[in-house]
Amino acid sequence: MKKTLVAVAALAAVTGAMAEVTISGFVDGGVSSIKSTTTAGVSSTTNSVTSPGAGQSQITFAASEDLGGGTTALANIRLNPSIFAGTITSDVSEIGLKGAFGTALIARDFSIDFFTHAAADASGWTSGAEGVVHNISATAGNAVAYVLPTFVEGLGVVLARGFAGNAGGGGDGTAYKLTYKTGGFMGEYAASSTKTSSTSLWTEDFTIGGTATDTETLAVGGTVKTSAIALTYDLGVAKLHGGMFNSSASADGDQKASSYMYGVSAPIGATTLGLTISGADRTNSSNVTKKATGYRISAFYSLSKRTSAYVAYGSESKSSTTAKDTQSMLGVKHSF
């Protein structure tokens, strides 16, 4: 709270007017033990202090201004501090206008299906978790986006357009996401199509436990298509999660990948338990298919409204150089 007030006071001193500025985020860190066993039966164990185990640590600076007439200017900058590596990287940056017309943004953001994957993961952290196997495709981070106003109660629509000329952009692309919520039900569908402009910026990754395997560079001029669907239903005593994901690339031997996740999370007093079961397969440009399956169990205990301790265990098997990985993790997550 003090940081928020200091930021507001600083802006007021410079501009002569009060602005709505907030600083928020969270820090996550834990102790991890990963055991890897090769197809030859050779095992090795790596112990480390690491982050993230329950989410990517982040700091968000958000500002807004009432322009009158029901229109608001907004800007957000989110940074990812790697607390154990001593580095900070940029994550999401956006600026735009919001009003009765919807929300128009110029932004650098996650891929359109990032949170669709996350919604399907009942164990709490999709990208950095051993035992959660899924396929992703790199997407242009720099784009213009438009969030439509609400025409149907519970329905949200997002449209985005990426450009090949942007730094960090893989090619000209379009994307959209539909989200519908009613009662305890949530359904979401996201899709994108991008024409690649650079082999170095576009790769199709078969991701296992947050690590890209069997990565192949795509041909310039090829088209990458992705689709993702997630369904959740909150029963009160438990929440059901499920999702299916697909990606394909042309002009490079027609690479393709697909995956699924399903599971359940349940609050029991101050503890939330989660179980995710997942599987994925990928066919490379040589028409060789590799598969992976896994599961992850997690338990989060609320020490307060902003701090929780967690334990997690994940196991995955895959048809690559490493036959099996298991991970045990103990950590703490604090929000501010």
pTM: 0.85
pLDDT of residue 168: 43
Domain ranges in the chain are 36-54+108-335
pLDDT of 13 above 70: no
pLDDT of residue 119: 94
Question: In angstroms, rounded to a whole number, what is the distance separating the alpha carbons of residues 205 and 119?
Answer: 20
Burial (CB count <10 Å: 0-12, 13-18, 19+), residue 199: middle
- Second-level CATH architecture of 36-54+108-335: Beta Barrel (2.40)
Contact 143, 162 (CB under 8 A): yes
Task: From 53, 61, 54, select the one nearest 22 (Cα to Cα).
Answer: 61
Contact 170, 331 (CB under 8 A): no
Residue 289 structure tokens: 């298919």
Long-range contacts of 35-38 (CB under 8 A, 24+ apart): 35/325, 35/326, 35/327, 36/322, 36/324, 36/325, 37/322, 37/323, 37/324, 37/325, 38/321, 38/322, 38/323
Tell me the CA distances in angstroms from 104 to 62, 67, 141, 158, 168, one per residue in order.
16, 15, 16, 10, 21
pLDDT one-digit tens code per residue, 71-102 = 999 999 988 877 677 777 777 789 999 999 99
pLDDT of residue 164: 63
Instruction: Give every CB contact of residue 335 below 8 A, 6+ residues apart in sequence.
Output: 24, 25, 26, 306, 307
pLDDT of residue 130: 78
pLDDT of residue 134: 79
Question: In angstroms, rounded to a whole number, what is the distance separating the alpha carbons of residues 102 and 15?
Answer: 28
Question: In angstroms, rounded to a whole number, what is the distance separating the alpha carbons of residues 123 and 120?
Answer: 9
Residue 136 structure tokens: 């992703």
pLDDT one-digit tens code per residue, 27-65 = 888 898 988 887 777 888 989 887 777 877 889 999 999
Mean pLDDT computed over 164-168: 51
Residue 330 structure tokens: 């103990």
pLDDT of 165 above 70: no
* CA gyration radius, the chain: 21
pLDDT of 206 above 70: no
5 pLDDT tier (thresholds 50, 70, 90): very low
